[in-house]
């Protein structure tokens, strides 16, 4: 597999990218407000279900079962979809997926396609590929339309324009649509988007979608959404092309009874999505005349080989972990330099690209566990983060530069120190002596020099106490014996 093919984002290390995001006060206010609203709604609608934890357990068990039998269910899906009149294509990576799409569009002479919000097509850089071949991809999801017209990038899996407030959206629409008198009420903005898109819904003959779920039993594809644009794209065009990651498959139609309860509650704090569309193959007089499904690997098979990290593929893209993450809430999504931001992006991105990019993302977490607490399929993200940190370190230690790097030498020295009580006590004594010039009158260290400065860039550090626990315990025991 050609790792990274299709990714349109620059590979900037998270610490550097986060510094820029932290300077943007407006962005931080927008992200904080939006995640607060969604998190509050989520808490209300999950709290009203007595069997919420049982639903999480069921969702986790179904997704784990799928991953153990992925080959079987994918073949079953292909057979059922084909029998219903669909066409199934297999893509090893982004380049193959994009080539398949072009191979379907170019014989039709397509110059324009409609798109439903899809992180998978963002992952493979589909819009950029289409543009390079003279085909315009028109986003129909409101948030994606904001991103496209604003020449921006998505910052959230479910709400890609979460970092924009309505005043900023009004400026984008007014400029790009030529609407000088456009208001900034939500009704004004959605009406402008509706008028902008309506003619295209009726005239463009090809649409491209992602998928929330693939159903092996029936060969069906499911999309859940809130705006109705998806249903317009699924029903009006003559040709529909769906691009889905291979992990999206579910065994049975009835499995959706779990996910249609957990996904909307976790994603947007709704009891049910306003639009739940399931379609299977083609039917005379109803919907597209031609239907294609592209099953995308793009690194997922490699993730599946890792017993500890494969739970990453259980994700149903609800973004609850993003909304709950204290790191994401401060930096927003662009700091992750990936289509997938937040905790799930911190474990998914480096694995999709086999640590060739995103190697700093496993450290973009406080390991507080909030992401695990809200995950509707119980992905233990902190566990995977720690596992990936180990992988990153082992990769670095394969090179001379990594072996002689300050962090590796420091951690090796720390390991030696912690293996011996005497060495630990000596290190503590040296530390107390060395910290004296930096301890303030309040007992805290506010600034450390050179490579240690990172510890005090955004927080104060308590000074080492005059007496260690070991010393205190030893004195206590001697006092008890006396």
Domain boundaries, the chain: 14-302, 427-481
The listed CATH number (1.20.1630.10, 3.40.50.10420, 3.40.50.300, 3.90.1150.10) that belongs to domain 14-302: 3.40.50.10420
Q: Which residue has the higher pLDDT, 451 or 432?
A: 432
Residue 5 has pLDDT above 60, yes or no: no
pLDDT reported for residue 481: 78
- pLDDT over 70, % of the chain: 98
Q: Which residue has the higher pLDDT, 19 or 81?
A: 81
pLDDT reported for residue 3: 45
Q: What is the pTM of this model?
A: 0.89
pLDDT reported for residue 4: 47
**Where does the pLDDT of residue 2 fall: very low under 50, low under 70, confident under 90, or very high at 90 and above?**
very low
Per-residue pLDDT of 388-447, as tens digits, reads: 999 999 999 999 998 998 888 989 999 999 999 999 999 999 999 999 999 999 999 999
Contact 152/161 with Cβ under 8 angstroms? yes
Residue 68 has pLDDT above 60, yes or no: yes
- pLDDT over 90, % of the chain: 84
**Where does the pLDDT of residue 7 fall: very low under 50, low under 70, confident under 90, or very high at 90 and above?**
low
Cβ neighbours of residue 97 under 8 Å, at least 6 residues apart? Answer: 6, 91, 124, 126, 243, 294, 296, 298
pLDDT reported for residue 9: 67
CA-based nearest residue to 370, from 384, 386, 381? 381
pLDDT reported for residue 479: 85
Per-residue pLDDT of 93-106, as tens digits, reads: 999 999 999 999 99
pLDDT reported for residue 1: 43
**Residue written as token pair 């289409």:** 130
Distances (CA, A) of 370 to 96, 120, 280, 326: 37, 25, 37, 8
Q: What is the mean pLDDT of the chain?
A: 93
Q: Would residue 376 be called left, alpha or beta, if left means φ above 0 and alpha means ψ between -120 and 50 degrees? A: alpha
**Residue written as token pair 């808490």:** 43
pLDDT reported for residue 199: 85
Per-residue pLDDT of 193-212, as tens digits, reads: 999 998 888 899 999 999 99
Per-residue pLDDT of 315-347, as tens digits, reads: 999 999 999 999 999 999 999 999 999 999 999
pLDDT reported for residue 394: 94
């Amino acid at each position: 597999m050609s790792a990274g093919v299709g990714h349109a984002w620059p590979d900037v290390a998270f610490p550097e990218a986060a510094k820029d995001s932290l300077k943007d006060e407006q962005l931080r206010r927008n992200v904080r407000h939006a995640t607060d609203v969604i998190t509050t709604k989520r808490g209300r609608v999950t709290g009203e279900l007595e069997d919420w934890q049982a639903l999480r357990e069921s969702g986790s068990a179904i997704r784990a079962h799928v991953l153990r039998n992925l080959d079987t269910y994918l073949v079953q899906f292909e057979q059922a979809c084909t029998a219903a009149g669909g066409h199934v294509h297999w893509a090893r990576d982004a380049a193959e997926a994009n080539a398949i799409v072009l191979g379907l569009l170019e014989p039709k002479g397509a110059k324009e396609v409609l798109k439903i919000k899809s992180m998978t097509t963002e992952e493979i850089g589909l819009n950029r590929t289409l543009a390079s071949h003279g085909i315009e991809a028109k986003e129909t999801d409101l948030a994606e339309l904001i991103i496209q017209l604003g020449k921006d990038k998505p910052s959230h899996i479910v709400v890609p324009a979460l970092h924009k407030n309505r005043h900023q959206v009004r400026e984008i629409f007014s400029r790009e649509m030529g609407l000088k008198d456009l208001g900034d009420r939500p009704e004004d903005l959605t009406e402008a988007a509706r008028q902008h898109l309506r003619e295209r819904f009726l005239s463009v003959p090809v649409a491209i979608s992602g998928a929330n779920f693939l159903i092996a039993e029936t060969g069906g594809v499911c999309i859940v959404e809130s705006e109705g644009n998806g249903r317009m794209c699924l029903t009006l065009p003559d040709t529909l092309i769906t691009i889905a990651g291979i992990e999206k498959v579910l065994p049975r139609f009835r499995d959706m009874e779990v996910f249609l309860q957990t996904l909307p509650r976790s994603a947007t704090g709704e009891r049910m999505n306003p639009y739940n569309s399931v379609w299977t193959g083609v039917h005379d007089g109803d919907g597209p005349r031609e239907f294609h499904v592209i099953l995308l690997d793009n690194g997922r098979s490699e993730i599946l080989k890792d017993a500890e990290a494969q739970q990453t593929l259980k994700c149903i893209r609800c973004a609850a972990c993003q909304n709950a993450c204290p790191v994401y809430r401060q930096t927003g999504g662009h700091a992750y330099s990936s289509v997938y931001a937040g905790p799930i992006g911190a474990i998914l991105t480096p694995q999709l690209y086999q640590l060739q990019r995103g190697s700093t993302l496993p450290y973009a977490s406080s390991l507080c566990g909030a992401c695990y607490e809200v995950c509707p399929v119980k992905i233990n993200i902190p566990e995977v983060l720690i596992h990936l940190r180990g992988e990153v370190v082992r990769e670095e230690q394969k090179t001379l530069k990594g072996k002689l790097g300050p962090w590796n030498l420091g951690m090796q020295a720390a390991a030696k120190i912690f293996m011996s009580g005497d060495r630990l006590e000596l290190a503590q004594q040296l530390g107390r002596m060395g910290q004296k010039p930096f301890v303030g009158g309040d007992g805290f260290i506010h600034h450390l020099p050179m490579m240690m400065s990172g510890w005090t860039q955004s927080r104060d550090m308590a000074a080492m106490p005059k007496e260690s626990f070991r010393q205190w315990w030893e004195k206590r025991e001697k006092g008890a014996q006396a």
